[in-house]
Amino acid sequence: MKRLCALLAGCCLLGASHLSLAYDARGARSCDGWQQFRQDQKRGYSLNAEIYETWLVGYLSGIVAGSGTDFLAGTENESVFLMVDTFCSENLQTNLAASGTSVARQLMQLEGIVHMPTLP
């Protein structure tokens, strides 16, 4: 698990613009798929949505580990998933890495963390 967090953190430390990621976010699923499987989950078919959610939580945990800033503390996963729902509805052609980075930035801003130079 530590190696996975370190790998994810390493990916996060490489520079990139807000939506155009310059690193390979391995396993990053599409926002289009996120939306489809979240709808399936509401109808009682949760397995695919849980795979996406698990990947996203791992990605965000990697950013926490890499930045040394626990911007997730006190935030329920479902709140994060709702933020991703909003991001993905506006950015269907992106992936969960871009969405996760956007959510991380929003949560950091809410926590008063204004500058994280290592965040893509």
Q: What is the pLDDT of residues 26-85, one digit of tens each?
A: 667 789 889 999 988 888 888 888 999 999 999 999 999 988 889 999 999 999 999 999
**Statement: residue 19 has pLDDT above 70:** no
The pLDDT value given to residue 42: 86
54 found inside a domain: yes
44, 48, 54, 59: CA torsion to nearest 10: -140
Q: Encoding tokens for residue 111? A: 């926590």
119 found inside a domain: no
116 found inside a domain: no
The whole domain housing 106 covers: 2-110
96-108 burial string, b = 16+ CB within 10 Å, else e?
bbbbbbbbbbebb
**How far is it, in rounded angstroms, from Cα 7 to Cα 118?**
14
How many domains are contained in the chain? 1
Taking residues 82-111, what's their average pLDDT?
A: 93
**How far is it, in rounded angstroms, from Cα 15 to Cα 81?**
25
Percent pLDDT > 90 in the chain is: 42
**Statement: residue 18 has pLDDT above 80:** no
**Statement: residue 16 has pLDDT above 70:** no
DSSP 8-52: HHHHHHS---SSS-SS--TTPPBHHHHHHHHHHHHTT--HHHHHH
The pLDDT value given to residue 26: 65
Percent pLDDT > 70 in the chain is: 72
90 found inside a domain: yes
26 found inside a domain: yes
115 found inside a domain: no
**How far is it, in rounded angstroms, from Cα 23 to Cα 119?**
12
- Average pLDDT over the chain, rounded to an integer: 78
The residue with greater pLDDT, 35 or 16, is: 35
Q: Encoding tokens for residue 110? A: 């809410």
Across-strand partners of 95? 30
117 found inside a domain: no
The pLDDT value given to residue 115: 62
14 found inside a domain: yes
